[in-house]
Amino acid sequence: MAETVERRILGRMSPSDEEIVINFGPQHPSTHGVIDFVTQTNGEIIRRSIPDIGYLHRGLEKIGESVGYPGFMPFTDRLDYLAAMLANEGYAMAVERLLKIDIPPRAKYLRAIAGELCRISNHWVAVGTMASDIGASTPLTHALREREAINDLLEELCGARLTFNYARIGGVSFDAPEGWREKILRYLDHLESYIQEWDRLISLNQIYVKRLANVAVISRTQAIDYGLCGPNLRGSGISWDTRRDLPYGAYPDFQFEVPVGQGKMGAVGDCWDRYAVRVLEILESAKIVRQALARLPEGEIVAKVSRKPKPEPGEAMARVESARGEMCYYVVSDGSENAYRVRVRTGSFMAMGIIEEMSHGLMIADLIALIASLDVVAPEIDR
């Protein structure tokens, strides 16, 4: 029989008489998509849990080689369906670097506004599903209600609520509609006061804190060694944010903090820190949106780019701070209409690697907390 990945994983398990091997997934309420965590446990205590990924592999990178440069844009939505704006932006930036074109300032600002709104909406889902994985179902619906407002705003901008396809090579597809600015500001006013209610409801709930504090502590070294990025890296106390440290687009113009895990409830890098970083990032994103709205420049929203661009042979890479960490697009051109190679490096995939090491000695409920705190999205892992 052919050696499958699953078989190889099971081969590594070799459970003793007291242990069982159990599959968390591919269909399981809290694996956040079709991922299988092959888990060896002794009762409630986990010996090791190995992620078996690939159930959602759709060959998106390969598709990128055959649909032309603008044609791949809608596929980037499907890479990370919760933060599609940011995935769009990364790909557009990579191709723009390949074409060596500069985009109008208004487009940069619109990308920043839409991207940060999308980050807020993604983080609402992240913290909401995390609460639901810990067993509290009410915060999830409240988080989704908050996200709904952003969905409405972005729908008004580009007509879509989930897979936006908003960025274009050279700019963005639609200009901000009339009255959009006021609607965003009204929402941000609500958001900043609502965060207090959210903290009372769940962030500072004693059961919730006890479930997350000191659980699956990822140290600074481990976080760097395993290549974690984004909120997962910052949760371990490392202040690294592509928006600030390798600024792109309109981000050099904005003042914002980079929240890092401080071990407020336990050790630095525990599940609560990774959670808290996301809640704080919601407020930081709100700050960025306010600044961008205040000085939104007038002008064109898209640069002049051919419908079927043929970049010079060469390669380009763009790194954006997606909601799940640094998202890198590496695009190689051979001078034709289609890319020679499209490669995406995503935060969720990097987060999968650390699960085996962290899972040792956790309890079953802690494994769920760990997976939730890493905030993975299955298509981003498998691509």
Partner 1 sequence: MRITTALDSTSLTTRYPKTALATTLFFMLALPFLLYAVLLLMLPFNQPEALDAVAKRLGWDLGHSAYRDAWYGLVLVIEGSFVALYTAVFAGVTTWVERRIAGRMQSRIGPNRPGVFGFISWVADAVKMLFKEDLIPAEADNLLFRAAPYFSMVGLTLPFVVLPFGESVIVADLNVGVFYVTATSAFIVVGILVSGWASNSKWALFGAVRGAAQVVSYEIPAGIAMMVPVMMAGTLSMQGIIRAQGGLPWNWFAFKNPAAFVAFIIAVTASLAEGNRTPFDLPEAESELVAGYHAEYSGFRIALFLMVEWANMWIMGALAVTLFLGGWQIPFVSVETINQIRGTDVFPTLAWFGLQFVSLAVFAIKTWALVVLFIWLRWTLPRVRVDQMMALCWKYLVPGAFACFIFTLFWVMLPASVHLASGGLLSLGAAFLLVKFGLRTRKNIAQVKGARVDLSNW
Binding site residues, partner 1, CB under 8 A: 20, 22, 28-30, 43-44, 131-138, 141-142, 145, 190, 193-194, 196-197, 200-202, 205, 207-208, 210-211, 363-366, 368
State which residue, 85 or 131, has the beta carbon closest to partner 1.
131
User: Is the distance from CB of 377 to CB of 80 less than 8 angstroms?
Assistant: yes
**CB of 148: closest distance to partner 1 in angstroms?**
10
DSSP letter assigned to residue 311: P
CB of 50 to partner 1, least distance (A): 17
Q: Which is nearer to partner 1, 31 or 285 (CB)?
A: 31
CA 26 to chain centroid: 21
H/E/C letters for each residue in 174-207?
Answer: CCCCCCHHHHHHHHHHHHHHHHHHHHHHHHCCHH
For the bound state, the minimum distance from the C-beta of residue 331 to partner 1, rounded and expressed in Å, comes to: 39
User: Are residues 156 and 70 in contact, defined by beta-carbon separation less than 8 angstroms?
Assistant: no
For residue 104, cis peptide bond before it (omega within 30 degrees of 0): no
Cβ neighbourhood burial of 13 (10 Å; 0-12, 13-18, 19+):
middle
H or E element, residue 95? helix 84-99
Distance of closest approach, residue 26 Cβ to partner 1, in angstroms: 13
Residue 90 tokens, joined: 């990364």
Using the structure block, give the residue that is written with the tokens 């940069």: 108
Residue 323: strand, helix, or coil: coil
Give the pairing type, strands 36-42 and 20-24. antiparallel
- Token pair in block for residue 136: 């509290």
Query: How many C-beta atoms lie closer than 10 Å to residue 296's C-beta?
Result: 17
Is the CB of 66 or the CB of 196 nearer to partner 1?
A: 196
**Closer of 18 and 178 to partner 1 (Cβ):** 18
Q: Which is nearer to partner 1, 58 or 145 (CB)?
A: 145
Residue 10: CB minimum distance to partner 1, A: 15
User: In angstroms, rounded to a whole number, what is the distance separating the alpha carbons of residues 329 and 152?
Assistant: 28
* Nearer Cβ to partner 1 (224/364): 364
3-state secondary structure of 330: strand
Shortest Å, Cβ 90 to partner 1: 31
Distance CA 346, CA 342 (A): 13
Q: How far is the CB of 348 from partner 1 (least distance, A)?
A: 19
Q: Closest distance between partner 1 and the C-beta of residue 80, in Å?
A: 22
**Least separation in angstroms between CB 25 and partner 1:** 10
Q: Is 304 helix (H, G, I), strand (E, B) or coil?
A: coil
For 67, list phi and psi in degrees, rounded to 5: -110, 5
Q: Which is nearer to partner 1, 151 or 163 (CB)?
A: 151
Sheet holding 45-52, edge to edge: 20-24, 36-42, 45-52
Q: Which of 349, 344, 347, 322 is nearest to 332 (CA)?
A: 344
CB of 42 to partner 1, least distance (A): 12
